[in-house]
Each structure stands twice: as C-alpha cells, then as structure tokens.
Amino acid sequence: MRETIHQLEVLRYDPETDTAPHFQTYAVTCQEDWVVLDAINYVKENLDRTLSYRWSCHMAVCGSCGMVVNGEPVLSCHAFVRDYPEKIRVEPLANFPIERDLVVAIDDFVEKLTSVKPYIISAEERPVESGENLQSPEQLAVFKQYADCINCLLCYSACPQYALNDSFIGPAALALAHRYNLDSRDEGRSARADVVASNPGIWECSFVGACSEVCPKDVDPAAAIQQTKIASTVDYFMRFLMPWRKQ
C-alpha cells in the first residue's frame, strides 16, 4: 500500500493553559486509503496523547467526528487524505464554543432540538394491540430524507446566520421539525409552530443554502426550511380567509 507523509495542522486549545487557540503541526505518514480521522488517531496513539477530539463509529453514521478540514466542515471519518494533497488543516466545527482542541460545546443545539418537539404528537395514544399505523411507501418517502439527519452539525458550522445570531434555531433542528410535520402519523404541526414559524425559527433563514451543500447525508435542511416557510405563509393567509378553520 502506498504511503505518503502529510503535514497535519491541528487547532489546539486547552482552557487550563491557553488564552487562545493555536495551531500545532504533526508530520503523519498516511496510507493511501486513510481518512483524516485515521491520521488524527495516529497522532493520538503515537505522537501526542494530549490531543482531544470525538469519534466513535468510523463509518459516517454516529455524527461525532465533525471537523473543519481545510476550511470545509466534514466528517473526518469520511474525508480521505488523498483528497488533500497539500497540507491538512484541521479545526473544530465553526460557530460553536471550543471546549478543548477539536471538541466543541453543542449544548445549544441540543436545547434547540428539544424545543422543536421532535417526536410524534398525536391527539390520542393508540394501544400497541391495535397494531401498526399504515403508512404507504409514498407517505414514507415524503419525509424520509429529513429523518436521515445524524446530528453531525456540519450544517451549523456552515451557516452564516447561525454565526451571526445565536438565537437562530438552525438547519438540522428545523429539518427534524419538518420531518415530523410531514409524517402521516403526526398531528403536532401547530404545537411546533410557536418555535418553528417564528423569527429565530424559519424566518431567520435567508436561504444561503450552505447547510445543504455540506450535509453528508443529503438531508437538504435548506429545502426543509423553505418548505416550512411556504407552509406557514399559507397557514397565515388561511387564518384570515377562513378563520373558522381549525388549525
């Protein structure tokens, strides 16, 4: 197997000793099929035990290894070193506070996700004895894509609105709200509207579209938000035209 030496520049920050983050460079001998995470693991195992970062699955599904590599937010377990022939510069996800090295604090996202009520809301709970809900493949296809979000937060890292405004609910949380709104088993759209169809919700989005460009799972959160905008606008006018209609 071919091996190449790469200069790995990693942004380091330890709140106990550093006043600001700084780059540290490691020379790593990489095999040609390595991903950036392999190179970082190599550093951790052989060169520097003090490097902190998150990872687990190494198969692009747990969503923990999001980092900014050469300026672009990526899953480091799915970013191949062969695609970075020059140097590899690794930073923590943008727009989140840096906890330590490549680890960012994501409490804000978790709170926002919770606020959009990402679960089935239905008027009455059906007993399991009544069997499964029927849902045709077509009904499933309507929301399936938005259910594929792995919460990797690459989209938040790419979103300039989130960078400028902390209160923006953000792409993934809004995509997940949309996922439940579209689910034929759900009746919670109006319960979610308070948060979703608000200024910090969909209306903060100016459709830059960066979120969808960086999403590793083709969730297309930008689409989810624009669709929600259209649906809420329709709702708004319907309230005037047909005030008697139930939400």
Partner 1 sequence: METLTSDVAIVGAGGAGLRAAIALAESNPGLRIALISKVYPMRSHTVAAEGGAAGVIKDNDSFDNHFNDTVAGGDWLCDQDAVEFFIHEAPKELTRIEHWGCPWSRQADGHVAVRPFGGMKVERTWYAADKTGFHLLHTLFQTTLKYPSIKRYDEYFSTDIVAVDDACQGVVALEMRTGQLRFFRAKAVIIATGGAGRIFPFTTNGAIKTGDGMAMAYRIGVPLKDMEFVQYHPTGLPGTGILITEGSRGEGGILVNKDGYRYLQDYDLGPPDPWPRKKAMELGPRDRLSQAFWHEQQKGRTIKTDYGDVVHLDLRHLGEAKINERLPMVRELSKSYVGIDPVDAPIPVRPVVHYTMGGIDTDINGATRVGGLFAAGECACVSINGANRLGSNSLTELLVFGARAGRAAAEYAAAGGGAAVSEALVTEQAEAAENRVLALFRRTNGIEDIAALRRELTATMEAGAGIYRSEGSLQEACAKMAEIRQRYASIELRDKSNVFNTDLTEALELKSMIDVASALAVSAYHRTESRGSHQRLDYTDRDDEKFLKHSLATYAAQGEPRIDYCDVVITRSKPGDRVYGGKQE
Partner 2 sequence: MIRGPYVRPVGRYSWWLSQPRYIRYMLREVSAAFIGAYILMLIVGLLRLSQGPAAYESYLTAVLSSAGVAFGLITFVFAVYHSLTWFRVTPKAMPLRMRGKAVPPAIIVGAHWLGWAVASLLILLWVAV
Contact set with partner 2 (CB under 8 A): 13, 15-16, 18-21, 71, 94-95, 97-99, 104-105, 136-138, 141-142, 160, 163-164, 206-210, 212-213, 220, 222-223, 226-227, 229-230
In angstroms, rounded to a whole number, what is the distance separating the alpha carbons of residues 197 and 217?
A: 25
**What whole-number distance in Å separates Cα of residue 60 and Cα of residue 238?**
42
Under 8 Å between Cβ of 122 and 187: yes
Q: Binding of ligand FES at residue 109 (CB under 6 A)?
A: no
Residue with tokens 């995470």, as numbered in its chain: 37
| Shortest reach from residue 9's CB to partner 2, in Å | 16
Q: Which of 37, 81, 154, 231 binds ligand SF4 (CB under 6 A)?
A: 154
In the bound state with partner 1, the residue whose beta carbon lies nearer, of 52 and 229, is 52
The token duo for 34 is 């390595």
Nearest to 89 by CA among 71, 106, 74, 77: 71
- Residue 62 binds ligand FES (CB under 6 A): yes
Residue 153 makes contact with ligand SF4 by CB under 6 A = yes
Which residues are at the interface with partner 1 (CB under 8 A)?
A: 1, 14-17, 33, 44-46, 48-64, 78, 80, 99-101, 103, 105-106, 110, 113-114, 117-120, 125-126, 128, 131-137, 139-140, 143-144, 147-151, 176, 180, 183, 185-186
Task: Pick what 55 binds: ligand SF4, partner 2, ligand FES, none; C-beta below 5 to 8 Å, kind-dependent.
Answer: ligand FES
Closest CA to 166 of 118, 204, 195: 204
Q: What angle do CA 180, 185, 216 make, to 5 degrees?
A: 35
The verdict on 221 binding ligand SF4 (CB under 6 A) reads yes
How many Å separate Cα 22 from the centre of its chain? Answer: 25
- Residue 65 binds ligand FES (CB under 6 A): yes
Q: Which of 6, 39, 63, 211 binds ligand FES (CB under 6 A)?
A: 63
**Among 209, 183, 212, 199, residue whose Cα is nearest residue 117:** 183
* Cα gap 38→46, rounded to integer Å: 12
Residue 243 makes CB contacts below 8 A (sequence gap 6+) with none
Which does residue 175 touch among ligand FES, ligand SF4, partner 2, none (CB within 5 to 8 A, set by kind)? ligand SF4
Q: Is 60 in the site for ligand FES (CB under 6 A)?
A: yes
